[in-house]
Amino acid sequence: MNRRLFLQWSGASTLFWAFPAVDATDPSGSNIELTAKPGKAKIVGRDFPATDIWGFDGQIPGTPIRITHGQALYATIKNALNVPTAVHWHGIRLPNAMDGVAGLTQPAIQPGESFHYQFTPPDSGTYWYHSHVNAYEQVGRGLSGPLIIEEKEPPVVDRDLVWMIDDWRLLDDASISNDFGAGHDLSHAGRIGNVPTVNGRFRDIVKVRTGERIRLRLINASNARNFALSFGELAPSVIAIDGQAVKPFQTKEPIVIGVAGRVDLMLDMSGDPGSIMPVVDSFYRETFDLTKFVYEETPLRSSALDSVIDLAPPELPEPDLSNAMAHEVTIAGGAMGGLRRAQFNGKWMSLREIARQGYVWAINDVVGNKLDMPPLIDTKMGQSIRLTLRNQTAFPHPMHLHGHHMKLLTIDGQPLPDPRWVDSPLLLPEQTMELAFVADNPGEWLFHCHALEHHAAGLGALVRIT
């Protein structure tokens, strides 16, 4: 996409779902069917051709799922693609057999076949689902969707909006570039696209009313792009991170949403009727308007709602730091990463030899190139684990642990005033984080960088809990 197109707006539609959510309204849960299949999407507006995508039910984002906390989710995934797939329910503490990692927790869903997932999410919050087979291509083509677990008593708002923020690498004819797994992406920042979108649309607008209170659920579904969003004169209140409630705090600083991360905001729309306010991303050197709020002429009310925005505190097992098992995790490799050699298939090799195999990253000097490798952590159920993550590379890494949440304790040695629960913390270059969790969910779980090209090039490991 050329710069002229990048600076244009795609039209004056609104960022609402163009299709209904799948709701499980039966208290015991209900059956949901999703089909992974090809589709077409008008990503860059009516003046350009539709883009061929892969999507759940053939659309981007995939059909949104909303259930209430305490309900069971029964989901049948049908594969109408010509390649195998599987579905990972990102951020959910669920049984290992339902985690959706083909080759580890289940066989891949072959073309023409189906797989049934069944679990009851133990936590409310904002989550998402996505392919976990050749994810750097399948997610890059659109195979992801939102999963919302609503609180039984949610805070009072006028609207509850979901924004799946993403980016796409498109050619001038609006087709997806087929250079998945390119060497530069594997060894540098990952597949950074040239067309950022919200809910599958480039440079769309959101119509709002003065005095309106919006709960905005941000989900970063991109392969590798991180976002830092500013909301103009508004001061959003952050109420949840990675699906877990935090003590609400108001900020005018950019809201960082790392790859695979989620942030829930409360926005009191205080702009003047008829005004326009851009939502600006500034994570990288060049800033751009991701979308715009456009105020309608008629206010909803004269002042903001006076109601509680706090969510119920997380119900997660608290790690026992006095008896925690300590693990040091060092991430190395990539371009300018300083990695000289590492273990590949149990043998020490130089980085040059490893790169010939298509891998350039390592955790504790071990290249994560297969799912049957010795685990990074092997522990008994119930053990508290304290992780020290060190990023010795030139690039950020969103480190995702399947099946668990981790409590973020310190960043670069500085304790957080309010430690928070995360499942995909964004570890910046040369940064160190300390986290802790209780290994209370048995099975073999992936622990990997969610910059999908980094995972494909070796930045992954296993956590075994017995």
Q: What is the pLDDT of residue 11?
A: 37
Q: What is the pTM of this model?
A: 0.94
Q: What is the pLDDT of residue 15?
A: 46
Superfamily per CATH, domain 163-295: Cupredoxins -  blue copper proteins (2.60.40.420)
Tens of pLDDT, residues 425-463: 999 999 999 999 999 999 999 999 999 999 999 999 999
Residue 10 confidence (pLDDT) above 70:
no
Tens of pLDDT, residues 73-117: 999 999 999 999 999 999 999 999 999 999 999 999 999 999 999
pLDDT band of residue 30 (cuts 50, 70, 90) is low
Q: Which of 289, 165, 283 is nearest to 223 (CA)?
A: 165
Tens of pLDDT, residues 253-299: 999 999 999 999 999 999 999 999 999 999 998 899 999 999 999 99
Contact call for residues 156 and 305 (beta carbons, < 8 A):
yes
Residues 6+ apart with CB under 8 A from 284: none
Tens of pLDDT, residues 345-362: 999 999 999 999 999 999
Strand stretches in 94-185, DSSP E: 114-119, 125-131, 144-150, 159-168
Q: Right CATH number for 321-465 from 2.120.10.80, 1.10.645.10, 3.40.50.2300, 2.60.40.420?
A: 2.60.40.420
For residue 380, with 0-12 CB atoms within 10 Å meaning exposed, 13-18 middle and 19 or more buried, which class applies? exposed
Location of each CATH 2.60.40.420 domain in the chain: 3-152, 163-295, 321-465
For residue 430, with 0-12 CB atoms within 10 Å meaning exposed, 13-18 middle and 19 or more buried, which class applies? exposed
What are the angstrom distances between the C-alpha of 134 and each of 151, 265, 416, 450? 33, 32, 36, 13
Q: Which of 376, 377, 364 is nearest to 333 (CA)?
A: 364
The yes or no reply on domain 3-152 and CATH 1.10.10.10 is no
Q: Which of 71, 62, 59 is nearest to 23 (CA)?
A: 71
Tens of pLDDT, residues 373-412: 999 999 999 999 999 999 999 999 999 999 999 999 999 9
Rounded to whole angstroms, how far apart are CA atoms 385 and 407? 10
- How big is the CA angle at 413 (ends 407 and 417), to the nearest 5 degrees? 55
